[in-house]
């Protein structure tokens, strides 16, 4: 099958166009689609340069590119529309019904989404990230009174990236604590965690998957052996059960999904919306 290119065009970061385009394209199997983001299109020159790139890709591939656009300003949109591609534009289709519903005209100003519209949001995300770093892997601060949620699970079950994602994306204060031999031998959690029991959330994972992930880190030794991995997961699940800790199996999930499921299950509020 020949290749085709999808372009994500934006006068800002391109995050919205990428997210939208990705959601739609994943509905089509077996299409080999090259993805190109063209962000910060904030001048007529840049808009015309984007048109050239789209037309060149179409000519090279003999297949019309797909163009996901979130450009706001009418003069740049008009230029892009001249490219030979399938032009899909969220503002084209959704602004009008929104204007009618809200009884207000939209501003057509760019730089509003993902922008520094709110300095407080930036600070909250930074502070939450610092919190996650200081409270990663049971470490340094153990500032658990301030935490919104405390993830527990064995090494490499996904705790650190999930905490960082919760912080960066949502400004949520997420700590994490690794379950190790110490907890497994006693069959108990340490007191400082039991005091915060309502904040605990467990991560688990399929043994095969965990073995694979651990082998990337340390190919040899007990750490990544099938036996050790099974033992640790079994014991960690016993602890979740003993204390009634809700948990999620991360095996089939992306970081976004793990984070969303934690927020959904715990009811912890987003402090910031991306």
Considering only residues 236-265, where is the footprint of its own copies by CB under 8 A? 251-257, 259-261, 263-264
Torsion, CA 123, CA 267, CA 164, CA 256, rounded to 10: -120
Q: Judged by CB under 8 A, does residue 40 bind its own copies?
A: yes
Q: How far is the CB of 202 from its own copies (least distance, A)?
A: 18
Tell me how far, at minimum, the Cβ of 185 lies from its own copies, in Å. 28
3-state secondary structure 44-79: HHHHHHHHHHHHHHHHHHCCCCEEEECCCCHHHHHH
E strand or H helix at 35:
strand 33-38
Q: State which of positions 115-134 bind its own copies (CB under 8 A).
A: 115-117, 121-123, 125-127, 129-130, 133
Among 5, 11, 14, 135, binds its own copies (CB under 8 A): 14
Which one of 206, 213, 225, 228 is in contact with its own copies (CB under 8 A)? 213
Query: Is residue 49 near its own copies by the rule CB under 8 A?
Result: no
Nearer to its own copies, 183 or 250 (CB): 250
163 closest CA partner among 196, 189, 200, 131: 131
Q: Tell me whether residue 189 or residue 268 sits nearer to its own copies (CB atom).
A: 268
Burial annotation 114-127 (CB, 10 A radius, 16+ → b, else e): eeeeeeebeebbee
**Residues binding its own copies: what is the number (CB under 8 A)?**
82
**What backbone torsions phi and psi does residue 204 show, to the nearest 5 degrees?**
-130, 175
* Residues in region 144-173 near its own copies by CB under 8 A: 158, 160-161, 164-165, 168
Which one of the spans 50-58, 82-90, 143-151, 180-188 is the region binding its own copies (CB under 8 A)? 82-90
d(CA 56, CA 52) in angstroms, rounded, equals 6
Residue whose C-alpha is closest to residue 171's, from 19, 273, 257, 259 = 273
Q: Which of 129, 167, 156, 151 has its CA nearest to residue 218?
A: 156
Site for its own copies in 83-112 (CB under 8 A): 86, 88, 90-91, 93-95, 97-98, 101-102, 104, 106-109, 112
Q: Is 206 in the site for its own copies (CB under 8 A)?
A: no
């Amino acid at each position: 099958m020949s290749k085709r290119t999808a372009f994500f065009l934006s006068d800002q970061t391109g995050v919205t166009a990428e997210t939208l385009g990705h959601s739609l394209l994943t509905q089509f199997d077996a299409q080999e689609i090259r993805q190109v983001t063209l962000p910060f299109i904030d001048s007529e020159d840049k808009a015309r340069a984007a048109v050239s790139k789209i037309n060149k890709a179409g000519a090279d591939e003999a297949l019309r590119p797909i163009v996901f656009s979130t450009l706001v300003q009418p003069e740049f949109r008009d230029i892009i529309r001249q490219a030979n591609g399938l032009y899909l534009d969220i503002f084209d289709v959704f602004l009008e019904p929104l204007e009618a519903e809200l009884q207000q005209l939209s501003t057509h100003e760019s730089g509003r989404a993902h922008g520094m519209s709110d300095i407080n949001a930036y600070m909250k995300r930074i502070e939450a990230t610092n919190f996650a770093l200081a409270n990663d892997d049971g470490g340094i601060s153990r500032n658990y009174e301030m935490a919104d949620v405390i993830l527990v699970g064995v090494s490499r079950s996904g705790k650190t990236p999930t905490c960082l994602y919760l912080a960066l994306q949502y400004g949520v204060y997420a700590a994490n604590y690794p379950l190790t031999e110490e907890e497994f031998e006693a069959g108990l959690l340490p007191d400082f965690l039991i005091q915060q029991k309502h904040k605990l959330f467990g991560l688990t994972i399929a043994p095969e998957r965990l073995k694979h992930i651990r082998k990337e880190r340390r190919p040899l030794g007990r750490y990544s052996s099938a036996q050790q991995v099974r033992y640790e997961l079994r014991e960690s699940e016993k602890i979740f059960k003993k204390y009634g800790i809700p948990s999620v199996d991360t095996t089939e999930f992306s970081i976004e999904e793990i984070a969303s499921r934690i927020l959904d299950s715990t009811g912890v509020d987003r402090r910031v919306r991306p």
